[in-house]
Structure 1
């Protein structure tokens, strides 16, 4: 039962819905599960707060659990 949290800056509701649909499809296909077992949350992050709210706590401090690392370093 995967739950995915997406943290994102400045996207429309339409884009968020597409992200949710594509992630759901990818998870159901890859894990061979029904979509009823998938939940997805999308959190809007203010661009100026990205480093403190996302980069430091979720990327730097949890780098051992990242399967796709970013190609940027804002520090």
Structure 2
């Protein structure tokens, strides 16, 4: 049962978030061969002032072996 969490800066519209969730769901279903009922997607808004401590350090820097797409920036 894949659960995908997207962490992003605030400011995206509800439509943009829904479209992203739909696209992620579609590709998870195609690639992992799960049905729609097995996939969930959450979007967490994290402001730029908290990005380093709440996202970059714990999710990116501390877990490099879990990253399948690394960012093109460092903090």
TM-score over 0.5 (shorter chain): yes
Quote the residue 2:6 is aligned against: 6
Q: TM-score, normalised by structure 1?
A: 0.93
| d(CA) in 1 for partners of 2:35, 2:65 | 29
Q: Which runs of 5+ in 2 are unaligned?
A: none
Quote the residue 2:62 is aligned against: 61
Query: What CA RMSD, in Å, does the superposition of the two structures yield over aligned residues?
Result: 0.8
Q: TM-score, normalised by structure 2?
A: 0.93
SS of corresponding position for 2:70? coil
Task: Count residues with an aligned counterpart.
Answer: 74
Quote the residue 1:48 is aligned against: 49
